[in-house]
Amino acid sequence: MHLETFNLYKHFTTRQGQLLVLKDINLHVETGQFVCAVGASGSGKTTLLRLIAGLEMPTSGKIMVDGKPVLGPGAERGMVFQSYTLYPWMSVAKNVGFGLKLQGVAKSLRSQRVAEYLDVVGLSQFANAYPRELSGGMKQRVAIARALASQPKILLMDEPFGALDVQTKATMQEFLLDLWRRTGTSILMITHDVEEAVFLSQRIYVLTARPGSIQQEVQLNLPPERTYTTRRQPNFQHYQDEIMDLLRTKPSPDIA
């Protein structure tokens, strides 16, 4: 899997004129990589992910997955949002299998795939439960299982742990790293949490304030096996400080 964006721009029309949200975005994610994009609120992080997911179209530039242009949503790109987006009237199993049903996957294969990915996220025993019966972390695991069930080439994650408490968030971060290692799925995740980005990823793209552009790409030299003790290492703190310094760039208005 090879995801690449070329000279990506995105404008939105406002009453004041054209608002430039993303400017000249060039990034890539290779097979099996975990990459984060970090930026402050208003830097266009979510817009960037929506463009890659095919939920919106760029004003100019190209997005390619394995050499093919992204012209809309596709099964090769799975999406996990911050809000769990689960259907409250459906059981956990039906939520996980919903995308497969829309794709016309046969019921027997669908059931097999749902069982497989509920096992992957450790929720097999909750297959018949409903979202209201789950904790926040469990709901997000269901959302991740639903995205993985379609076996995408890349998982796109929009601040998936932003709504969780600190302890649950740390647990889910470790869960996600373990899941990434076991499945080999490529991941592109956006977050405003610098510590989270350093803990999870192999590379980090640091976005400027609006208009969002890539200020720097940071290659992380941390152990592949990361635990809570990783956060105590001097170079972990060094990466955090480096990225925080980059994020202090002041925004500049871009309304024409």
Q: What is the mean pLDDT of the chain?
A: 89
47-92 residue pLDDT tens: 999 999 999 999 999 999 998 999 999 889 999 988 778 999 999 9
pLDDT at residue 256 is higher than 50: no
Contact 21, 45 (CB under 8 A): no
How far is residue 81's CA from residue 84's CA, in Å, rounded to a whole number? 6
Q: What is the pLDDT of residue 82?
A: 80
Task: Report the amino acid identity of residue 168.
Answer: T
In this prediction, residue 41 carries a pLDDT of 78
Buried b vs exposed e over 221-236: b needs ≥16 C-beta within 10 Å? eeeeebeeeeeeeeeb
pLDDT of residue 26: 95
Is the model's pLDDT at 163 over the cut of 80?
A: no
* H or E, element range at 169: helix 166-183
| pLDDT score of 249 | 66
Q: Homologous superfamily of 12-76+153-256 in CATH?
A: P-loop containing nucleotide triphosphate hydrolases (3.40.50.300)
User: Length of the chain, please?
Assistant: 256
* The pLDDT of residue 141 is above 60: yes
Radius of gyration over every alpha carbon of the chain, rounded to an integer in angstroms:
18
Helix, strand, coil percentages, rounded to 5, for the chain: 40, 25, 35
**For residue 255, pLDDT beyond 50:** no
pTM of the model as a whole: 0.90
Q: Which residue has the higher pLDDT, 41 or 115?
A: 115
The predicted model gives 233-255 an average pLDDT of 79
Give the Cα-Cα-Cα angle 223, 227, 231 (nearest 5 degrees).
80
* Res 1: pLDDT: 62
Phi, psi at residue 210, to the nearest 5°?
-50, 135
- Reported as a single tens digit per residue, the pLDDT across 192-208 is 999 999 999 999 999 99
pLDDT of residue 250: 60
CA distance 222 to 50: 29
Residue 246: closest CA among 208, 192, 200: 208
Among candidates 124, 29, 116, which has minimal Cα distance to 77? 29
CB 54 within 8 A of CB 222: no
Sorted by sequence, the CB contacts under 8 Å of residue 240 that are 6+ apart come out as 194, 195, 198
**Has residue 253 got a pLDDT over 80?**
no
pLDDT digits (tens, 9 = 90+) for 101-140: 888 888 889 999 999 989 888 899 999 999 999 988 899 8
**Count of CB atoms situated within 10 Å of the CB of 8:** 25
Rounded to the nearest 10 degrees, what angle do helices 166-183 and 107-120 cross at?
120
Q: Are 3 and 28 in contact (CB under 8 A)?
A: yes
Each domain of the chain, given as residue ranges in start order, spans: 12-76+153-256, 86-151
